[in-house]
Structure 1
Amino acid sequence: MKSILLLLFIQPIVLLAQHTIFYSSEEGSRGRDIYSMELDGGKYRKLTSSMGGGHYPHHNNSKLSPDGETLVFMSDPDGHDRYTIWTMSIDGSNFQKITQNEGLYPNWSPDGKTIVFSGRRNGVWEILTIPAKGGAEQIISKNKEQGKRPGWGATCSFHPNGQSLIYSYIREKVLYSYTLASGKTERISKAGNYLHPVYSKDGRIAVCRKLDESYDLVVIKDGEEEVIAKSIVSYSAPDWYVNDSKLLFVGMVNGNQELFSIDLKTKEEIQLTKNKSFDAMPVAF
């Protein structure tokens, strides 16, 4: 009986995550909130509220945990642009502040036990990790020790084996790989035109790549690049879903940012949102 009750408790969460996109939007908000939406572009729900002392906070860059139960995101309820890292359940409950100091662009380790993020420490932008439930943070980039001063934070994605991660500093736009055991960093792109790399479960990389005056959605496999979609919005990371057969990204429609899905085989694009406000940073499970 206990196992049956456990299954009944878990199943709705898994089904919701499998059929839901999470994203940031200004629809119906004076700040920016995180919403959930059915994959077919149907029913949507606001998960956060525009709380904040004297300002309208931005809840951005949500990432779904490997078990599909928790979102990690950056938020500034304590002051405009004073971002810290938070988590919440996928139904919008159980808010937890994970970092006390600055934190941007969080993401999960494959086992869901660790969060990687960026933040300024001692005046220098670093890449850090922290237990998913909160606790002592660890600086893994060692930029201050090595005399490096990145112009802004980095977005990171763990390799599916959990042994390394790929990252790109927002202003430098170069792809690097970092091996956790050795602490070794390797540059893996020649040019500085790459933003928001995201690993698939089989080790492919989806990334925003600048070519000429616009950014394309590109997939890198074994060092080879394939353009998947052209003229995308660059500051919003793509995301894999439906067994990594499709990608989510953000494009412009009549000067407005909207969410799109694209099939990697057919290259068929589907517009998922049609709001008159900002929609970006989609993730799905």
Structure 2
Amino acid sequence: MRSLICFLFLLPFSMLAQDVIYFSSSSNSRGRDLYAMTSKKNSHDKLTYQLGSGHYPHFNSPKLSPDGTTLVFQSDPDGHDRYTIWTMKTDGSSLKKITQREGMYPNWSPDGKTIIFSGRRNGIWEILTIPASGGTEQLLTKNYQAGTKPKWGATCSYHPNGKSIIYSYIREKVLYSYNFEDGKSTQLSSNGSYTHPIYAKDGRIAVNRKIDESYHLVIIENGEETVIAKNVISYSAPDWYSNESKLLFVGMVNGNQELFTIDLKTREETQLTKNNDFDAMPVAY
């Protein structure tokens, strides 16, 4: 395994007092790192670094723990696209590899004790859980036994009560729920246009949905859908601010992917980044 180290930095007090956003970004074509910024600051503080030659790891799909202290993400320091699940503190310290086998699209349980993710087991994409500190995996889906073969992994989000999840396979783009009590999945949408569903603490769902030829950011509440922002980047998940007054999303500006927030009351959009880099997968606290 090539050496992977993390640079430790301390967020200044002025940054701690503001909204902090974590995201994946790249200023070149060799890979991606995780960064932190405040919603009122256009400069990036780099969280991840690596040493070695011939490969630049990708640090993707960060998710913030419920207590705001820890990031879980996927990275491939062992080889290009050989993703496993990692955690680290939000100051960049305490980097830890959580899964020894393939893992992608991680997310947290509401109590922060469990990580849910996708991985290929027996050559088939499944949804699994693992303790946040590492340990024994638990298989949720039984696609291998059922003879089902999803074309790619799923992104998942726990219901705030912790009793179920909502998920969507990246290439199928159909919404499902999984109930932990009976171990059964239920199809929620009739067509393949939904990707990256994320629960709010009050049970609302934010999701990217393809409508006509473009993807829009949609909120689902009590079965009703409302378009919140148009022309979003489909493969970058939205995220709720902790007070649920705003959503984060990614849009395209002059050929560049940029981070945005939208105020759910006024529908005012604010562009957070303005550069030529790849900026995506933002999460907020």
TM-score (norm 2): 0.93
Q: Which amino acid aligns with 1:98?
A: I
Counterpart of 2:278 in structure 1 is 278
Q: Secondary structure at the match of 1:145?
A: helix
The answer (yes or no) to whether the contact 1:17–1:68 under 8 Å persists in 2 is no
Counterpart-to-counterpart distance in 2, 1:157 and 1:170: 14
The answer (yes or no) to whether the contact 1:87–1:96 under 8 Å persists in 2 is yes
Query: Cα 1:189–1:234, aligned 2, differ >3 Å: closer, same or farther?
Result: same
Counterparts of residues 10-89 of structure 1 (less than 5 Å): 16=16, 19-27=19-27, 30-51=30-51, 54-89=54-89
Counterpart of 2:111 in structure 1 is 111
Counterpart-to-counterpart distance in 2, 1:171 and 1:283: 22
The answer (yes or no) to whether the contact 1:17–1:69 under 8 Å persists in 2 is no
The alignment status of 1:148 with 2:112, answered yes or no, reads no
Q: How far apart are residue 181 of structure 1 and its match? A: 1.4
Structure 2, gaps ≥5 residues long? 1-11
Counterpart-to-counterpart distance in 1, 2:184 and 2:17: 35
Counterpart-to-counterpart distance in 2, 1:261 and 1:194: 20
For residues 199-229 of structure 1, give each alpha carbon's deviation from its aligned partner in whole angstroms, at most 9, with x where no partner exists. 0000000000001111000000000000000
The alignment status of 1:234 with 2:230, answered yes or no, reads no
Counterpart of 1:122 in structure 2 is 122
Counterpart-to-counterpart distance in 1, 2:155 and 2:165: 10
Q: How far apart are residue 18 of structure 1 and its match? A: 6.2
Counterpart-to-counterpart distance in 2, 1:119 and 1:271: 34
TM-score (norm 1): 0.93
More divergent stretch after superposition (16-25 vs 172-181):
16-25
For residues 157-214 of structure 1, give each alpha carbon's deviation from its aligned partner in whole angstroms, at most 9, with x where no partner exists. 0000000000000010000000111101111111110000000000000000001111
Counterpart-to-counterpart distance in 2, 1:150 and 1:29: 29
For residues 1-43 of structure 1, give each alpha carbon's deviation from its aligned partner in whole angstroms, at most 9, with x where no partner exists. xxxxxxxxxxx99x83962000000037842000000122344
Structure 1, gaps ≥5 residues long? 1-11
Q: Secondary structure at the match of 2:16?
A: helix
Counterpart-to-counterpart distance in 2, 1:167 and 1:47: 28
Counterpart of 1:95 in structure 2 is 95
Counterpart of 2:200 in structure 1 is 200
Q: Secondary structure at the match of 1:243?
A: coil
The answer (yes or no) to whether the contact 2:63–2:106 under 8 Å persists in 1 is yes
For residues 93-148 of structure 1, give each alpha carbon's deviation from its aligned partner in whole angstroms, at most 9, with x where no partner exists. 11000001000000000000000000000000000000000000011011111111
Query: Cα 1:120–1:226, aligned 2, differ >3 Å: closer, same or farther?
Result: same
Counterpart of 2:265 in structure 1 is 265
Q: Secondary structure at the match of 1:197?
A: strand
Query: Cα 1:42–1:253, aligned 2, differ >3 Å: closer, same or farther?
Result: closer
Aligned length: 274
